[in-house]
């Protein structure tokens, strides 16, 4: 296949096959949460998934002779990757696996197609049904797809938009809206705090710090990779990583910056305490990094107190040799912060905010 995947994905897909052959030779979806998909004649992408999955959706503007792309990530990897030729303004649809635990469905439009990202939405119409409308740009497409989209819906149907899309019933955030930096120049280490038997803070409703920070960290890494930044993560799953190995990974990597991502806590008896704070250790570059991250998190956290970019002596920022910061995105024990941190849509906005702060820092670094 000659058409590239979105920039955050480097896996090559199988050569283009005729649609009839693809449909005839489809294997089982295996562990993927995706059961079926279709481009409908009214210009919408329709999905059938496992019940109540968490989707992540992305938009990228066309450039350099490549049309705009919209892609959706779902948990579980398909058995194999494939490409289906489109028609009309849809150039092709690709099903890939950017890693061993994700299915990525990419809809690529013909060069010159205009999409307004502010109108793009992923809406849950049932617990296992999703619809992404392209604001009329794909109207008139001859329907095509894979799988049994019309299979009976799961009994857990709910007649309302479902949580789990990037921003449920809200516009998709655009990767192209993130600051640009020279592709391939920078390397960043993202450190999701805690993990495994160490859940970190546990807050209102049993909200665990480790779950919040791993989700946000993985999304930050994906966004940075989409902008051409190499990303290393100190952990990518619920495992326990001691502090010295986190520092050693960063110091041995030659990274340009290090960010440790956390959520704060005080006491369940003090839900009145909320706020965002970002710590740094000594250097002016680390202070500037902390300030840029703090500014962006605050911008999407209305009402949450600004606790400042503050000096701190945390091991991971004190012992790393590159500019480093530790972000506390809010209090899992706070009556304002906790519901936000528990919301997948808000965590998505946090990831965009943090990625923006890091890219702003890199862009301003000589």
Give yes or no for a contact between 351 and 216, defined as CB atoms under 8 angstroms apart: yes
CB atoms within 10 A of CB 336: 18
Give yes or no for a contact between 334 and 271, defined as CB atoms under 8 angstroms apart: yes
Q: Give dist(CA 319, CA 29) in Å, integer.
A: 45
Query: Which one is catalytic: 46, 60, 146, 328?
Result: 328
> 77: part of which helix (H) or strand (E)?
none
In eight-state DSSP terms, residue 117 is G
Nearest to 226 by CA among 187, 192, 261, 176: 176
Alpha carbon of 88 to those of 139, 144, 187, 286, 333: distances in Å? 9, 12, 39, 50, 51
End-to-end CA distance of the chain: 38
Cα 192 to the center of its chain, rounded Å: 14
CB atoms within 10 A of CB 155: 8
* Token representation of residue 183: 């592709």
How many DSSP H helices and E strands does the chain contain? 7, 16
Give yes or no for a contact between 283 and 323, defined as CB atoms under 8 angstroms apart: yes
Nearest to 261 by CA among 226, 302, 224: 224
Give yes or no for a contact between 131 and 120, defined as CB atoms under 8 angstroms apart: no
Whether residue 108 lies in the annotated active site:
no
If you search the block for the tokens 């009556």, which residue do you land on? 335
Supply the residues annotated as catalytic: 328
């Amino acid at each position: 296949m000659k058409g590239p995947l979105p920039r955050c994905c480097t896996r090559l897909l199988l050569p283009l096959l005729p649609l009839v052959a693809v449909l005839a030779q489809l294997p089982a979806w295996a562990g993927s949460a995706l059961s079926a998909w279709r481009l409908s004649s009214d210009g919408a992408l329709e999905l059938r998934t496992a019940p109540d999955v968490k989707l992540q959706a992305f938009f990228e503007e066309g450039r350099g002779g490549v049309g705009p792309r919209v892609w959706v990530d779902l948990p579980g990897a398909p058995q194999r990757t494939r490409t289906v030729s489109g028609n009309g303004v849809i150039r092709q649809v690709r099903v890939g696996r950017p890693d061993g635990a994700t299915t990525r469905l990419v809809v690529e439009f013909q060069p010159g197609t205009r999409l307004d990202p502010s109108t793009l939405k992923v809406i849950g119409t049932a617990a296992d049904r999703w619809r992404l409308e392209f604001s009329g740009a794909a109207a008139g497409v001859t329907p095509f797809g894979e799988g049994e989209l019309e299979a009976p819906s799961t009994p857990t149907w709910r007649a309302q938009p479902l949580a789990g899309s990037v921003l449920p019933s809200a516009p998709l955030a655009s990767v192209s809206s993130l600051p640009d930096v020279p592709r391939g120049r920078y390397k960043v280490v993202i450190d999701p705090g805690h993990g495994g038997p160490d859940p970190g803070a546990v807050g209102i409703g049993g909200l665990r710090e480790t779950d919040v920070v791993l989700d946000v960290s993985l999304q930050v890494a994906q966004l940075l990779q989409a902008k051409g930044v190499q990303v290393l993560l100190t952990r990518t799953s619920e495992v326990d990583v001691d502090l010295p190995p986190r520092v050693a990974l960063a110091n041995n990597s030659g990274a340009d910056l290090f960010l440790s991502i956390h959520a704060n806590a005080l006491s369940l008896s003090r839900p009145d305490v909320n706020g965002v704070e970002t710590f740094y250790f000594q250097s002016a570059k680390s202070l500037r990094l902390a300030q840029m991250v703090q500014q962006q998190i605050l911008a999407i956290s209305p009402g949450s107190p600004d606790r400042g970019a503050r000096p701190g002596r945390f091991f991971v920022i004190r012992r790393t040799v590159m500019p480093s910061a530790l972000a506390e995105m809010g209090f899992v024990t706070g009556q304002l912060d906790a519901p936000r941190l528990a919301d997948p849509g808000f965590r998505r906005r946090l990831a965009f905010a943090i990625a923006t702060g890091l890219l702003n820092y890199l862009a301003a670094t000589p």
